Amino acid sequence: MKLKIAIQKSGRLYDESVKLLKDCGIDLKNGVNKLKTESDNFPMEIYFLRDDDIPQYVEDAVADIGIVGENVLYEKNKKVDIVERLGFGKCRLSVAVGRSEQYDGVGYLNGKRIATTYPLLVQQFLEKNKVDAEIHEISGSVEIAPGIGLAHAIVDLVSSGSTLLANGLKEVETVLQSQAVLIRNGRLDAEQQQVLEKFLFRIRAVKKARNNKYILLNAPNEKLQEIIQMLPGMKSPTVLPLAEPGWSSVHSVLNENDFWEIIEKLKDAGAQGILVIPIEKMVI
């Protein structure tokens, strides 16, 4: 038995999806065609597909699991379950209008025409906000629609915002925050379920490691208590004496989000020789 996973064939999710498998210790066979391959060291078969097709393939159990953006998942509205948010492919689905428009809230959209490749999500957004607007579905280059007179507003994916800026548009509402997620078919048998659990265990260890850093520093003994208070560690920090009397080496784990703030406090408290090292895997 091999667990079949569908990932994007090429595009914005491809590199990170392959990297996730690799970081989970799942080696892919090279030299097989680009439609599918398998792993030498894990019971997994990998299908490379258009991202738009992945929810359907997983619903139909052609693939057992898949990696896809939430934006695509919710738009396609298929019967699959989200197993885990993966922390990459982050973007938002937003409403944008011409930069010089006087936008005064969602009511602005009443009677307007909105161009998008996400008609279902836009319809749900309009219904939720009790707005009556016309949805104009197009298949790409949505950002040019207002400029050529095709629509008054657009709903499209945004990450840095530079595409909107380059097209004279401004972002005015967020319809959805999105990231890549692992989805599954609801009818896996016991053996498939077991392989999925194993894969998930590894994904969670990789995610934890990505969110944390290993930190080593030297501290004068009289400042040790103060410095230890700042470092939670997995249980508590490790403290080892240095060869030089009166000094200790402190080892701990820091969350990425608190990183810069804590580093500054540590320096102010007298810590020296601070080293920060990426963690490869983390199992707690």
- Which residues contact ligand PRT by CB under 6 A? 8, 11-13, 50-52, 69, 71-72, 89, 91, 156-163, 178
Select from ligand PRT, Zn ion, none the partner in contact with residue 97, using the beta carbon and a kind-dependent cut-off of 5 to 8 Å: none
Written as one string, the DSSP assignment of 205-227 is: HHHHHHTEEEEEEEEEGGGHHHH
Q: Which two tokens stand for residue 223?
A: 């400042």
3 state SS of 145: coil
Degrees, nearest 5: CA angle 76-180-201: 120
- C-beta closer to ligand PRT: residue 144 or 274: 144
- C-beta closer to ligand PRT: residue 63 or 158: 158
The answer to whether residues 238 and 250 touch, using CB atoms and an 8 Å cutoff, is: yes
The answer to whether residues 239 and 252 touch, using CB atoms and an 8 Å cutoff, is: no
- C-beta closer to ligand PRT: residue 10 or 193: 10
The residue nearest ligand PRT at its CB is: 69
Q: Radius of gyration of the chain from Cα atoms?
A: 24
Select from ligand PRT, Zn ion, none the partner in contact with residue 29, using the beta carbon and a kind-dependent cut-off of 5 to 8 Å: none
Select from ligand PRT, Zn ion, none the partner in contact with residue 161, using the beta carbon and a kind-dependent cut-off of 5 to 8 Å: ligand PRT
Select from ligand PRT, Zn ion, none the partner in contact with residue 91, using the beta carbon and a kind-dependent cut-off of 5 to 8 Å: ligand PRT
CA-to-CA distance for 21 and 2, rounded, in angstroms?
A: 15
**Helix or strand (DSSP H, E) at 142:** none
Name the residues that contact Zn ion, by CB under 5 A.
Answer: 51-52
CA-to-CA distance for 283 and 275, rounded, in angstroms?
A: 22
- C-beta closer to Zn ion: residue 3 or 183: 183
CA-to-CA distance for 124 and 146, rounded, in angstroms?
A: 22
Select from Zn ion, ligand PRT, none the partner in contact with residue 87, using the beta carbon and a kind-dependent cut-off of 5 to 8 Å: none
Q: How far is the CB of 7 from ligand PRT (least distance, A)?
A: 10
- C-beta closer to ligand PRT: residue 12 or 208: 12
The answer to whether residues 45 and 3 touch, using CB atoms and an 8 Å cutoff, is: yes
Q: How far is the CB of 241 from ligand PRT (least distance, A)?
A: 49
The answer to whether residues 130 and 153 touch, using CB atoms and an 8 Å cutoff, is: no
Q: How far is the CB of 150 from ligand PRT (least distance, A)?
A: 16
Q: How far is the CB of 49 from Zn ion (least distance, A)?
A: 10
In 10 A of CB 97, how many CB atoms?
23
Select from Zn ion, ligand PRT, none the partner in contact with residue 162, using the beta carbon and a kind-dependent cut-off of 5 to 8 Å: ligand PRT
Q: How far is the CB of 26 from Zn ion (least distance, A)?
A: 24
